[in-house]
Structure 1
Amino acid sequence: MESKKTGDVSSIHEEPVDHGADTDLRRLLSTRHLTMIALGSSIGMGLWLGSGTSLTQGGPAGIFLGYCLAGSMIWSVSHSIGEMATLYPLPSAFVQWTEKFVCPSAAFALGWAYWFSYVITIANELQGIVTVLHFWTHAVPTAAWITIFWVVIIFINIGAVTIFAEVEVVAATIKFGWIFVVIISLIVVSAGGAPKGGAIGFRYWNSMPFTHHFKGFLAVMPTCIFAMSGSENAGLVAAETSNPRKAVPRAIGSIWLRLSLFYLLGSLMVSITVSPKNPDLFGGSGTNASPFVIAYRDAGLQPLAHMMNAVIFISVLSTGSISVYAGSRTTMGLAHLGMAPKQFGRADKIGRPWLGLIVTISLGGGLAYLNVSNSSANVFTWFSNLTSLFTLFGWGLICLSHIRMRYAWKIQGRSPVDLPWKSWTYPYAAWWGLSWCIILMVVEFYLAVWPLGKNTSAKTFFANYVSVIAVLIIYLGARIYHGGPWWVDASTIDLDAQRRFYMDHDTEKGRGKGVANKAAKVMSFLLK
């Protein structure tokens, strides 16, 4: 934990208030909270609904390979997060790591881009709730549904952070438990054990593995990236975790389970039970339902279809709530870097950053009303394309920050064994993640110029690629304002500033935590 400069040795002996990363945040979350939030934070509209659009565009093989590639990227990114979040558990995590190890201009662009991506995700999840509820009824106006659940998300986030965390633990438990039901039941459906439909097997893989050839596979990638966006939120939660050295590695260790169960097996189940030509798929001409719901409905398993829709509803609401949390913490980190008004850096006595919460919730909810006058599938496509590009930018800078952190660590004569947690994947995973982020940003430029199934137009290009243009403008503007070198000089980086120091007997509760905090204060004082 970073310690404030006291200027008085006697102050070291005072009982510390356990603030997160020397902010007004409180370290109230446990390993259980961080692990479950890491497991469930990105399971929302992208997987449950967006996989329908991906299946139509890319076909069974296209969607499965898309999730394999995106999964390898977020697995790589997560290991970079693991090392840095354990060493530097900061409120806006990757924004502050970028400022420390890359350059302030890149951090400024990343912070505001990521904050806006959280705002977009809130809007996308709120309009996704409307799509989910339309499976049951069209009697309630779209604007009314958006308003109701906008208020629900507000109430989840205005309470203590422990209330938010417990809600997310419950939601993640439901998602995680239900995926086992999905896998087993859809295998039975594919094998012909359902009341209707007969055996399917790999019929769709054999007849149409790629619906639009290689371009269709490329078109799947933005939705796959959007579906996995949010996995990096474990880095943000670390600042409010009592013992990041224990909690973060456990959360990172759960990544493979989420990737394999939710994304890889989940997309495989969809590809063997639902035709890519089904008009009811999300984005099609029919009911715009989730492919998982369609699989149960067409198999004559109507009760499971309703239960699946209920789980999707919980997932979408949960992801919207997490985006409010992440957006408010991002503005707090920006304020501590002097890149946002200082009022955003303040929180009340129980750790609620009110100004960040209010602005993030208000703008995110307001954008959701775009769904009132546009189709949900169109709004989803706009928002997911914007978010996927912001996500690629963020993932790339996380990997780059990790590479630069290790480089600074090395040239300043420090050994990797001194790290509180060391990833066995370095440097290969970090370079893998960074390389693919760059490649896919080029791919999305190609799709913006020559979109799948549409004519080239300025409107389509800007709708799909405006986020990259915005990031470049913000970055160059910050470069002009800040000036200085393009890179932070690795030899001058203060590797102990903002660092969390640990003792071998750190615990999450009781006297051990107080002793560890006092020891950290003593160590920081001596270093200064």
Structure 2
Amino acid sequence: MAPTDSPAHVEHPGSTGSLKKVITTRQFIFMALSSSIGAGLLLSTGQALAVGGPAPLFIGFAVVGLAVWITMCSLGELSTNFPVKGSFYEYSVWFISPSWGFSMGWNYVMNFICIVPFEVIVMVLVAHFINPGLPAEYLIPGFLVALMLIYVFGARWYAEAENVFGVLKMLVFTIFIMTAFFIVADAVPTDPRPASELGWHIWKNEAFKNGWAGFLFVFMSAGMAYGGTEMLGFTAAECVNPRKVMGLASRLVAGRVVGLYLLPILMVGLVLSIPLEDTAKEHTDTKTSPFVLAVARAGIPVLPQIMNGIILVAIFSMANASVFASSRALRAISSQGMGPKFCGLVKWDRPVGALIVVFLFSLLAFAKVSPDGDNVFTWLLALASASNYFTWMSICLCQIRCRLAIRKRGLDQHTVLPSYRSPFGIYGSVFAMLVFVFGLVAQIAAAVKSPLPSPPPVFASMLGIVVVAVFWVGYMCWKRDWTLLVPLKDIDLETKDAPESHEFESV
């Protein structure tokens, strides 16, 4: 089915009002550098280090990081030349098919709605490093109320809060990198470990742990850790100059990947070893941030508590960003008839209906107080990781099909894409898609042959795939529309506002 020519950003009758452009370029730059860094990097890397070892951890994060950077360049190309309000999933409708766009919209919503309770659970785990006796049933309501308060003040103050959180994240990684350097150099007198047990000695003896199963396991952590980078597409919709900031963000992401992901991961692999057996313990080291644990094992006083406090704020920041992403995504798809009318409601410049739904789902965090509450962590981690891989694949496929449509019609790329063009072109997006497909397969394969003493159910690793399949096939069956790919000749390249993706009916 070909798209029509009317604008996609026309609000559905079920929506009320629109979101104002109040986020400044300065705020957006800080968000591009450090927003959406949360438990995936700050906590789950500990388990990945224990299972895979330092070499797979670094290699996996480097490969996925490169693919994510390419993806952001592709998203920058699309968003600056074909601006939309619904971000990447509208491109899925435009350049792939209505059914795929529908599934990607709901995949994104389900992902970040589930990440909110996931991050709250992680905040409880981090708080227990300070005081193991703190009851989760008291901590969880406090964290949820704090998240709600930020949204009372709207998008501008959300952006300001993220700027403060971003500075703290960059500070904690700077402190850790400098401290790890001194530990490796045997310049920390309080460290009881001899220099012969640190640095490249760890890599020599534990570089690759548990063979291929350990290597594949890392990709679940990497898929989660980089998740949310693409939410800059939503944030840009509320920026004063969205075309300018998205082109800039796609370039800033490269520095973010190297400085805030790869360098800290390289250093933690040089100063910390976590036995696989520890993952089965009730109070396991893999439930403490590996960056804090590395400093604590060096015997440095006070600093681990300071870093842990900053990490708690950083994870709160990711929960905050997840509320923003899920509420904006839910509001956007609902305003076009892809969801309940109530969720498209905007009052006081806020997506009130969507925020209510998001905060209701955040109550899932109370599962932490149940006897099997820790299993919720693994299930939500697997769901978020698979969902992120699908999101990034869809963005890359949209960029590929846009370029192919330009070629097929004999148009000049400089004319159709005047604002910004990805330096990686089609081949970069193809490479990124292959990495993401590998990440999905690796996640399932690692679950089938899990080296963990208490492995999660295999179905947990497939949950994200099931979610996408249900929405994708469900839409095609409901609409009797079996279009898998919109023909290249029918893709509208002349209209600089997105053509209306589909006549969705309200759910």
When the two structures are superposed, what TM-score results if normalisation uses the length of structure 1? 0.85
> What do residues 118-157 of structure 1 show as CA deviations (whole Å, max 9, x unaligned)?
0111111101110111111133310211110011111112
- Could you tell me how far 1:245 is from its partner in structure 2? 2.3
Is 2:199 the counterpart of 1:201? yes
- Amino acid in the other structure paired with 1:218: L
Shift of residue 497, structure 1, vs aligned partner: 4.3
Whole-angstrom distance in 2 between the partners of 1:478 and 1:33? 38
Tell me the distance in 1 between the aligned counterparts of 2:281 and 2:74. Answer: 35
User: Any conservation in 2 of the 1:106–1:475 contact (CA below 8 Å)?
Assistant: yes
Deviations 1:170-221 (A, max 9, x none): 1011112332221111110111111223422212101111121121010111
Judged with a 3 Å threshold, the aligned counterparts in structure 2 of structure 1 residues 414 and 361 are, in CA distance, closer, same or farther, namely farther
Contact 2:99–2:483 (Cα < 8 Å) also in 1: no
Instruction: Name the amino acid aligned to 2:326.
Output: G
Q: Runs of 4+ in structure 1 displaced over 6 angstroms?
A: 278-284
CA contact (8 A) 2:334 2:340 kept: yes
Q: What is the CA distance between 1:333 and its match in structure 2?
A: 2.2
Match of 1:332 in 2: 331
2:490: which partner in 1? 492
Equivalent residue number for residue 474 of structure 1 = 471
Q: Give the direction of change, closer, same or farther, for the CA distance of 1:306–1:439 in structure 2 (3 Å limit).
A: same
Cross-structure match for 2:420 = 421
* SS of residue paired to 1:495: coil
User: Do 2:213 and 2:449's aligned partners in 1 also have CA atoms closer than 8 Å?
Assistant: no
Looking at structure 1, the residues matched to 44 and 270 of structure 2 have their Cα atoms a distance apart, in angstroms, of 17
From 402, 405, 427, the counterpart of 1:405: 402
* Residues 477-511 of structure 1, C-alpha deviations (whole Å, 9 max, x = no match): 111223142211232233354629xxxxxxxxxxx
User: In structure 1, what is the equivalent of residue 503 of structure 2?
Assistant: none
Whole-Å separation in 2 of the counterparts to 1:465 and 1:485 = 25
1:463 equivalenced with 2:460 (yes/no): yes
Decide whether the 8 Å contact of 2:117 with 2:364 is kept in 1.
Answer: yes
2:56 and 2:218 in contact (8 A); partners too: yes
Map of 1:195-274 to 2, 5 A cutoff? Answer: 195-196=190-191, 197-199=193-195, 200-274=198-272
Listed one character per residue, the Cα deviations across residues 228-274 of structure 1 (whole Å, up to 9, x for unaligned) are: 10111111111111112221122111111111111111111111111
Residue among 43, 46, 50 paired with 1:52: 46
Aligned pair count reads: 478
Moved more, 295-304 or 481-490: 481-490
Q: Does 1:79 align with 2:73?
A: yes
Structure 2, unpaired ranges of 5+: 8-15, 499-507
Q: Give the Å deviation of 1:443.
A: 2.3
Question: How many angstroms apart in 1 are the aligned matches of 2:363 and 2:454?
Answer: 31
Instruction: Give the whole-Å Cα distance in 2 for the aligned partners of 1:295 and 1:455.
Output: 24
Partner-residue secondary structure (3-state), 2:478: helix
Would the aligned equivalents of 1:91 and 1:333 in 2 still touch at CA under 8 Å? Answer: yes
Q: Match for residue 37 of structure 2?
A: 43
Partner of 2:130, secondary structure, is: coil
Asked if 1:158 corresponds to 2:152, the answer is: yes
Using a 3 Å threshold, how does the CA distance of structure 1 residues 41 and 282 change in structure 2: closer, same or farther? Answer: farther
Structure-1 separation of matches of 2:495 and 2:18: 18
Superposed, 1:492-511 pairs within 5 Å as: 492-497=490-495, 499=497
Which of 18, 22, 25 in structure 2 is aligned with 1:24?
Answer: 18
Cα deviation per residue 1:337-357 (whole Å; 9 max; x = unaligned)? Answer: 32112333332243x111111
Inter-partner Cα distance in structure 2 for 1:498 and 1:341: 28
2-side partners of 1:327 and 1:167: how far apart? 17
Aligned counterpart, 1:355 = 353
Partner residue of 1:34?
28
Q: What's the C-alpha RMSD, in Å, of the aligned pairs?
A: 2.3
Structure 1: state its 5+ residue gaps.
6-21, 501-528
Alpha-carbon distance in structure 2 between the residues aligned to 1:280 and 1:486: 46
**Structure with the greater relative contact order (CA < 8 A, sep ≥ 6): 1 or 2?**
2
- 1:517 paired residue number: none
Partner of 1:522: none
How far apart in 2 are the matches of 1:32 and 1:166?
Answer: 10
Residues 19-55 of structure 1: per-residue CA shift (max 9 Å, x gap)? xxx9701111122222211222231111111111011
Q: Distance in 2 between matches of 1:284 and 1:85?
A: 46
Identity of aligned pairs, percent? 30
2:380 paired with 1:383 = yes
Name the residue aligned to 1:135.
129
Corresponding residue for residue 345 of structure 1: 344
Residue type matched to 2:309 in 1?
Answer: A
Q: Give the counterpart letter for 1:31 in structure 2.
A: T
Deviations 1:352-380 (A, max 9, x none): 111111101210x2111121125675332
| Residues 67-106 of structure 1 mapped to structure 2, 5 A cutoff | 67-106=61-100
Contact 1:280–1:294 (8 Å) recurs in 2? no
Output the amino acid matched with 1:370: A
Maintained 8 Å contact 2:51/2:276: no
Structure 1 partner of 2:161: 167
Whether contact under 8 Å (1:90, 1:333) holds in the other structure is no
